[in-house]
Structure 1
Amino acid sequence: MDQQRAEQAWGQGSFGQGSFDDLGRLLVDVTFCVVDLETTGGSPQKGSRITEIGAVLVRGGEVLGEFQTLVNPDESIPAFITVLTGITDQMVVQAPRIAEALPSFLEFARGSVLVAHNAPFDTGFLRHAAAELQIPWPRFEVLDTALLARRVLLAGEVRNCKLGTLAAHVGATTTPNHRALSDARATVDVLHHLFERLGPLGVHSLEEARAYTSTVTPAQRRKRHLADKVPNAAGVYLFRDRADDVLYVGTSADLRRRVRTYFTRSETRSRMGEMVMLAERIETVVCATALEARVRELRLIAHHRPPYNRRSKDPARTTWVKLTQEPWPRISLVPQVRDDGADYIGPFRSRAEAVEATHAVHDTFAIRQCTDRMGRTSRRSPCVLAEMDRCLSPCDGSADPEVYAIEVGRVRSALTADPVEVVDRIGDRMRDLAADERFEDAALWRDRLQALVRGADRTHRLRELTAEPEIVAAAPHADGWEMHVVRHGRLAAAGVLPRGTEYRGWLDVLLATAETVTPGPGPAPAALVEETEVIRRWLTGDGVRLVDGTWVTPLASAARHLPPPPRWP
Structure 2
Amino acid sequence: MTAAHEVRGQFRAVQGTLDDLGTPLAEVTFVVVDLETTGGSAADSAITEIGAVKVRGGVELGELGTLVDPGGPIPPFITALTGITTAMVTAAPRMDAVLPAFLEFARGCVLVAHNAPFDIGFLKAACAAQGYAWPAFPVVDTVDLARRVLGKDEVPNCKLGTLARFFRTRTEPTHRALADARATVEVLHGLIERLGSFGVTSLEELRGFAKAPTPEQRRKRHLADDVPSTPGVYLFEDAAGEILYVGKSGDLRSRVRSYFTGSETRWRVREMVGLAERVRTIVCATGLEAEVRELRLIAEHKPRYNRRSKFPERAIWLKLTAEPFPRLSIVRECRDDGARYLGPISSRRQAEEARAALHEAVPLRQCTQRLTVRLIERGRARTCALADLGRCGAPCDGRESPDAYAVHAETARAIMEGDVRPVVAAAQVRIDRLASELRYEEAGAQRDRLAAFVRAAARGQRLTALARLPELVAARPGFDGGWELSVVRYGRLAAAGTVPPRAHPRPYVDALIATAETVFPPAGGAPGGVALGAPPSSGATAEEMECVLRWLDLPGVRLVELDGAWTCPAHGAEGLRTWIDNAYASHDPEARQGRR
- Secondary structure of the 2:226 match is coil
Match of 2:554 among 541, 553, 560: 541
Is 1:517 the equivalent of 2:519? yes
Mapped pair 1:552 → 2:552 = no
Cα displacement (A) at 1:431: 2.2
Letter in 1 for 2:129: Q
2: distance between equivalents of 1:450 and 1:566? 10
Query: Which residue of 2 is the match for residue 232 of structure 1?
Result: 229
Tell me the secondary structure at the aligned position of residue 483 of structure 1. Answer: strand
CA–CA separation in structure 1 for the residues paired with 2:443 and 2:225: 59
Q: Is the 8 A contact 1:212 1:264 kept in 2?
A: no
Paired letter, 1:558: A
Q: Secondary structure at the match of 1:482?
A: strand
User: Normalising by structure 1, what TM-score?
Assistant: 0.63
CA distance in 2, matches of 1:146, 1:515: 51
Please say if 1:303 is aligned against 2:309: no
CA distance in 2, matches of 1:506, 1:267: 40
Match in the other structure for 1:493:
495
- Do the aligned residues in 1 keep the contact of 2:30 with 2:111 (CA within 8 Å)? no
Amino acid at match of 1:391: C
Hey, what's the Cα distance between the residues in 2 that align with 1:271 and 1:322? Answer: 37
Is 1:134 aligned with 2:135?
Answer: no
Q: Which residue of the partner structure matches residue 483 of structure 1?
A: 485
Matches for 1:193-204 after TM superposition, within 5 Å: none
The answer as to whether partners of 2:320 and 2:340 remain within 8 angstroms in 1 is yes
Distance 1:447 1:146, change over 3 A: closer
Contact 2:431 2:446 in 1 (8 A): yes
Deviations, residues 244-265 of structure 1 (Å, cap 9, x unaligned): 1111111111111110111124
How many Å separate the matches in 2 of 1:211 and 1:497?
Answer: 46
Is 1:561 the counterpart of 2:561? The answer is: no
Q: Which structure 2 residues correspond to residues 21-420 of structure 1 after superposition, within 5 A?
A: 131-134=126-129, 214-377=211-374, 378-379=376-377, 380=381, 382-420=383-421
Looking at structure 2, the residues matched to 354 and 507 of structure 1 have their Cα atoms a distance apart, in angstroms, of 41
- Counterpart of 1:429? 430
DSSP-derived class of the 1:541 partner = coil
**Counterparts of 2:132 and 2:509, CA distance in 1:** 43
2:572 maps to amino acid = S
Which is worse superposed, 555-564 or 440-449?
555-564
- Contact in 1 for aligned 2:497/2:512 (Cα 8 Å): yes
Counterpart CA distance in 1 for 2:410 and 2:139 is 67
**Structure 2 Cα separation of the partners of residues 464 and 266 of structure 1:** 41
CA drift of 1:484 comes to 0.2
Match of 1:190 in 2: none
Q: 2:327, 2:413 → 1: CA distance?
A: 11
Cα offset, 1:459, TM superposition: 0.5
- State the alpha-carbon separation in 1 of the partners of residues 450 and 289 from structure 2: 35
In 2: Cα distance, 1:453 partner to 1:254 partner = 37
Task: Supply the distance in 2 between the matched residues of 1:367 and 1:128 (Cα, whole angstroms).
Answer: 47
Higher relative contact order (CA 8 A, sep 6+): 2
Q: Does the C-alpha gap of structure 1 residues 137 and 527 become closer, same or farther in structure 2, counting only changes over 3 Å? A: farther
Deviations 1:546-567 (A, max 9, x none): 0000523433211333344669
Q: 1:508 aligns with which of 507, 510, 532?
A: 510
CA distance in 2, matches of 1:452, 1:232: 43
Cα displacement (A) at 1:406: 1.8
Report what 1:201 is aligned to.
none
Residues in 1 aligned to 2:383 and 2:409: alpha-carbon distance in whole angstroms = 19
1:27-82 residue CA offsets vs partner (Å, 9 max, x unmatched): xxxxxxxxxxxxxx997989xxxxxxxxxxxxxxxxxxxxxxxxxxxxxxxxxxxx
Q: Does the 8 Å contact 1:44/1:128 carry over to 2?
A: no
Cα distance in 1 for residues equivalent to 2:210 and 2:396: 69
Task: Provide the C-alpha distance between the structure 2 equivalents of 1:299 and 1:357, rounded to a whole number of angstroms.
Answer: 29
Give me the whole-angstrom Cα distance separating, in 1, the residues matched to 2:395 and 2:132.
59
Give 2:548's aligned amino acid: I
Please give the per-residue CA displacement for 1:403-427, whole angstroms capped at 9, x wherever unaligned: 2222112111222213221222122
Please report how far the alpha carbon of residue 502 of structure 1 lies from its aligned counterpart in structure 2 after TM superposition.
Answer: 3.7
Counterpart position of 1:185: none
Partner residue, 1:191: none
Evaluate the alpha carbon distance shift between residue 129 and residue 391 of structure 1 in structure 2; reply closer, same or farther with a 3 A threshold.
closer
Is the partner of 2:495 in helix, strand or coil? strand
Deviations 1:486-512 (A, max 9, x none): 011110000001234343332222111
The alpha-carbon deviation at position 119 of structure 1 amounts to 11
Cα distance 1:120–1:382, how it changes in 2: closer, same or farther (>3 A)? closer
3-state SS of 1:404 partner: helix
Match of 1:341, as an amino acid?
G
RMSD: 3.5
Partner amino acid for 1:469? P
Call closer, same or farther: CA 1:403–1:129 in 2, change over 3 Å. closer
Q: Which runs of 5+ in 2 are unaligned?
A: 1-28, 35-108, 142-206, 532-538, 584-596
For residue 305 of structure 2, give the secondary structure of its aligned residue in structure 1.
coil
Q: Which amino acid aligns with 2:420?
A: P
Relative distance call for 1:128 and 1:441 in structure 2 (3 A) is: closer
Q: Partner of 1:327: helix, strand, or coil?
A: coil
Find the aligned partners of 1:289 and 1:524 in 2 and give their Cα distance.
25
For residue 445 of structure 2, what is the aligned residue in structure 1? Answer: 444
Q: What residue identity is the alignment partner of 1:386?
A: A
Are the counterparts in 2 of residues 237 and 285 from structure 1 also a CA contact under 8 Å?
A: yes
Distance 1:502 1:119 in 2: 58
SS of the residue corresponding to residue 346 of structure 1 reads strand
Shift in Å at residue 315 of structure 1? 1.4
Aligned position for 1:463? 464
Distance in structure 1 (CA, Å) of the matches to 2:512 and 2:131: 43
2:559 is aligned with what amino acid? L
Report the Cα distance in structure 1 between the residues aligned to 2:111 and 2:330, rounded to whole angstroms: 51
Provide the secondary structure at the position in 2 that maps to 1:367.
Answer: coil
**1:189 corresponds to:** none
Judging changes above 3 Å, is the alpha-carbon distance between structure 1 residues 231 and 404 closer, same or farther for their aligned structure 2 residues? same
Please give the alpha-carbon distance, in whole angstroms, between the structure 1 residues aligned to 2:121 and 2:522: 51
C-alpha distance in 2 between matches for 1:449 and 1:137: 37
SS at match of 2:498: strand
SS at match of 1:399: coil
TM-score, normalised with respect to structure 2: 0.60
Answer whether contact 2:31 2:111 (CA < 8 A) is retained.
no
- Secondary structure at the aligned position of 2:387 is classed as helix
Q: Which amino acid aligns with 2:353?
A: E
Q: Which amino acid aligns with 1:557?
A: G
- 8 Å CA contact 2:357, 2:450 repeated in 1: yes
Count residues with an aligned counterpart.
392
Change in Cα spacing, 1:42 to 1:227, as seen in structure 2 (3 Å) is closer
Q: Is the 8 A contact 1:479 1:496 kept in 2?
A: no
Per-residue deviation, 1:325: 1.4
1:181 aligned residue: none
User: Which residue of 1 is the match for residue 544 of structure 2?
Assistant: 531
Counterpart-to-counterpart distance in 1, 2:211 and 2:542: 36
SS in 2 for 1:134: helix
SS at match of 1:496: strand
What's 2:19 paired with? none
